[in-house]
Chain A
Amino acid sequence: MTTMALYSNKGGVGKTATAVNLAYLAANSGKSTLICDLDPQSSTTYYFRVKPKLKRGARGFLKPGKPIQRSIKGTDFEMLDLLPADFTHRNLDIRFNGLRHRKYRLDIVLKTYRKEYDLIILDCPPTINILAENIFNTADLLLVPLIPTTLSMRTHEHLMTFLRGKRYDHKRVFAFFSMVDGRKKMHHEIIPLFLNQFDGVLRSQIPYLSLVEKMGIYRAPVPVYAPKSRATEAYQTLWHEISQHLFISD
Chain B
Amino acid sequence: MGVKIKGGYQAELIDSILVDKYFYKVEEPVSEKWIFFDTFDWRLFNKSLTLHQSGQQLTLRRLTYGDSIESIKWTSRPVFAWDFPDGSFRKRLESITQARAVLMLGEVHTQSRTYRVLNTDLKTVARLVYTQVWSQPDINSPLLGEYIILQPVRGYPRYEQQLTKELEEIGHTTSIIEDIYTSAIKKSRIKPGSYSPKLGLRFDPSMRSDEAMKTIFLRLLKIMRANEAGITADVDTEFLHDYRIAIRRTRSALSQTKNVFPRDITNRFKRDFASMGQISNSLRDLDVYLLSEGSYRLMLPEVMKDDIHPLFIYLQGQRTLALKDVIRYLESEDYLQILQRWEVFIDNSKSDIYDEINSALPVIDLARKQIYTQYRRVVRDGNYILEHTQDELLHLLRIESKKLRYLMEIFAGLFPRKKITRLIKQLKILQDNLGEFNDLAVQQEQLLEFASEIPVSDKPSKMALVATGYLVETMARRQRIVKAGFAKTFTTFSSKNNQGLYRELFKYIDSGSDS
Contacts and interface: CB of A to CB of B under 8 A. Distances in A.
B393 to A, nearest CB: 46
Given A74-B152, A74-B153, A74-B156, 16 more contacts: A30-B72, A30-B73, A48-B123, A50-B123, A71-B155, A72-B154, A73-B154, A74-B124, A74-B155, A76-B116, A81-B154, A81-B155, A219-B121, A219-B122, A249-B87, A250-B85
Contacts of A51: 121
Interface in A54-96: 70-76, 81
Contact of A73 (B73, B86, B87, B156): B156
A50 B122 CA distance: 10
Interface string A17-31: 000000000000110
Contacts of B155: 50, 70-74, 81
B159 to A, nearest CB: 11
Quick one: which of B72, B122, B124, B152 has the most chain A CB within 10 A? Answer: B124
Q: How large is the interface on B (under 10, 10 to 19, 20 to 34, 35 or more residues)?
A: 10 to 19
B123 A249 contact: no
A70 B155 CA distance: 6
Interface string B109-148: 0000000100001111000000000000000000000000
B174 interface: no
Interface in B40-66: 57
A139 to B, nearest CB: 21
A193 B113 CA distance: 53
Contacts of B153: 73-74
Contacts of A250: 85-87
- Chain A binding site: helix, strand, loop or mixed by DSSP? loop
- Chain B binding site: helix, strand, loop or mixed by DSSP? loop
A49 interface: yes
A67 to B, nearest CB: 12
Quick one: which of A76, A219, A250 has the most chain B CB within 10 A? Answer: A76
A49 B121 contact: yes
A249 B57 CA distance: 21
Contacts of B124: 74-76
B71 interface: yes
Contacts of A71: 155
A48 B153 CA distance: 13
10 contacts: A30-B72, A48-B123, A50-B123, A72-B155, A73-B153, A73-B154, A76-B124, A219-B121, A219-B122, A249-B86
Nearest to A81: B154
A164 B215 CA distance: 76
A116 to B, nearest CB: 11
Interface string B320-338: 0000000000000000000
Contacts of B71: 30
A74 B151 CA distance: 11
